[in-house]
Amino acid sequence: MKQLFESIVSLAKRKGFVFPSSEIYGGLSSAWDYGPLGAQLKQNIQQHWWKTMTRHHEDIVGIDSSILMHPRVWEASGHTENFIDIMVEDTITHERYRYDHLSEEQRAKNISPKGNPLSEKKPFNLMFETAIGAMKDTAQKLYLRPETAQGIYVNFRNVLNTSRKKLPFGIAQVGKAFRNEIVTKSFIFRTCEFEQMEMQYFVTPGSDDEWFQYWKKQRTEYYKTLGIRTSHLQLHPHGENELAHYAKEAVDIQYNFPFGWQELEGIHNRGQFDLKQHTSYSGVDLQYFDQEKNEKYTPVIVETSVGLTRLVLMVLCDSYDEEELENETRVVLRMHPVIAPVKLAVFPLVKKDGLREKAHAVFKQMSDEFSTEFDVSGAIGRRYRRQDEIGTPYCVTIDYQSLKDNSVTIRFRDSMKQRRIRIEEIADVIRASDKAYVRMGESQ
Ligand code: ATP
């Protein structure tokens, strides 16, 4: 399993999905940069989530709020007081650990994973502090937001007034969040700077249990539509001692990463906590006036929250496959074509006799609708392998026959099957094939 993860990380770096942050200065372990393929993959996943949450749900709208917010927000939300992890140190190696990440045995014996005695427990606030203003003595202390959700709560009234929504309705947002994690690890799994995709659904008190179940189901289904192996997904309901300070009920969608089952997404019933806190701290009434019932009340919030960058890692892990062929091992990323960073690669069989020009014309024609790559170098087999390794679902080859009758071969990544089709059909074949996509070995 360790070897599998190393292969995935190495492919991600080698192919330009992810680079270490500021690598020429030795890198920064808690942050990563996304290369040409990684940036496109991230954007595709984000757009897919956004479309699923907003366009497919007429009762959900999107916003984009700022990273820097009034410091009172974090007092009201409880983050200044409660957004704390307990840190312990190995007294010999001085390595730091999150106390809740140690095993029961290590905690009972008060030893580190290396078997050495642990230091005293120290609370550690995860929020990054910064200051606004030029003068040190008058600068105002601010925080980089540790979650995007608060930007939604403080805009609850603005959205209600401008979008004419009635309960139940949701607000979605994608954006950066920052946490001063005690330990960052497992490549891009846990980082100090990351992106979240969150949706806050506002409901009438009393209907929240039902909506919690609804979103649990919707979000689990989502991963199936994304072609993720169902055997690698499970739900983990939070016990009393795991619940965050604001949560009434919570469940994690976990994924079986090569380093074990870990949280991918959290679904939380946050009760009336957030809106009541902001009402009391800001003095602005964030209750909802229910015209039908002719009464005012504070809505209950059901939240779905997933890390975009964590989802990128999950997609890389889930799609990575090594397939034994006759004389070689084929490395292939079997990711859903809807999120593949390169959708289509176009090749001329050879560079000469007008094939290159014809292939380039096809590339130009396709690249408006699909993210398309044009590749002329190396044997066709080598070009296919290069595209397999980055998850390109379709490759089109222009050969001598194409010059005569405008036909091409289209080759499918997972089955490696080829079909002869006309140039005018390429887009339709891709659209139909995207729609019918089922992950190899999974039933529909
Ligand atoms: P943990 O207890 O593991 O630190 P959490 O349960 O506090 O995390 P949430 O606050 O529920 O995490 O965050 C919602 C989602 O945001 C997580 O499911 C995860 O996908 C993502 N996320 C949280 N922290 C990080 C991080 N440091 N790096 C990358 N993604 C993160």
For residues 272 and 298, the answer to whether their CB atoms sit within 8 Å is yes
Ligand 1 centroid–CA 332 distance in Å is 29
Nearest residue by C-alpha to atom 15 in ligand 1? 306
The residue whose CB lies within 8 Å of the most ligand 1 atoms, and thus the one to mutate among 45, 124, 196, is 196
Each residue's pLDDT tens digit, 55-90: 999 999 999 999 999 999 999 999 999 888 898 999
Tell whether the model's pLDDT for residue 162 goes beyond 60.
Answer: yes
Flag the least confident range among 3-17, 192-206, 359-373, 430-444: 430-444
Q: Average pLDDT for residues 406-415, to the nearest whole number?
A: 96
Q: Average pLDDT for residues 354-374, to the nearest whole number?
A: 96
Distance CA 171, CA 185 (A): 31
Tell whether the model's pLDDT for residue 444 goes beyond 70.
Answer: no
- Do the strands 288-290 and 295-297 form a parallel or antiparallel pair, or are they unpaired? antiparallel
Please report, for the chain, the start and end positions of each structural domain, with discontinuous segments joined by +: 2-67+147-316, 342-436
Nearest residue by C-alpha to atom 16 in ligand 1? 307
Task: Enumerate residues lining ligand 1, CB below 6 A.
Answer: 147, 179, 181, 190-191, 194, 196, 263-266, 305-307, 309-310
> From 3.30.930.10, 3.50.50.60, 3.40.50.300, 3.50.30.30, which CATH number describes the 2-67+147-316 domain?
3.30.930.10
* Ligand 1 atom showing the smallest separation from residue 192 Cα: 27
Nearest to 400 by CA among 435, 368, 356: 356
Ligand 1 centroid–CA 351 distance in Å is 49
Ligand 1 centroid–CA 310 distance in Å is 9
Structure tokens at 111: 């030893």
The more confidently predicted of residues 27 and 18 is 18
Mean pLDDT of the chain: 94
Nearest residue by C-alpha to atom 20 in ligand 1? 307
Q: Is the peptide bond before 168 cis (omega within 30 degrees of 0)?
A: yes
Q: How far is CA 117 from the centre of its chain?
A: 37
Nearest residue by C-alpha to atom 25 in ligand 1? 190
Flag the least confident range among 115-119, 277-281, 353-357, 438-442: 438-442
Considering all CA atoms of the chain, what is the largest pairwise distance in Å, rounded to the nearest integer? Answer: 78
* Ligand 1 atom showing the smallest separation from residue 181 Cα: 27
* Ligand 1 atom showing the smallest separation from residue 252 Cα: 18
Please give the helix or strand (H or E) that residue 199 lies within, else none: strand 193-203
- pLDDT grade, residue 264 (50/70/90)? very high
pTM, 2 dp: 0.94
For 172, 252, 261, 276, the CA distances from 287, given in Å and listed in that order, are: 20, 29, 39, 8
CATH number assigned to the domain covering 342-436: 3.40.50.800
pLDDT (0 to 100) of residue 136 = 66
Tell whether the model's pLDDT for residue 396 goes beyond 70.
Answer: yes
Flag the least confident range among 129-143, 212-226, 342-356: 129-143
Ligand 1 centroid–CA 316 distance in Å is 18
- pLDDT grade, residue 135 (50/70/90)? low
pLDDT (0 to 100) of residue 183 = 80
Ligand 1 centroid–CA 76 distance in Å is 20
Angle at 208 between CA 205 and CA 213, to 5 degrees: 170
Ligand 1 centroid–CA 288 distance in Å is 30
pLDDT (0 to 100) of residue 326 = 87
Each residue's pLDDT tens digit, 37-50: 999 999 999 999 99
Q: How far is CA 297 from the centre of its chain?
A: 34
Ligand 1 centroid–CA 305 distance in Å is 8
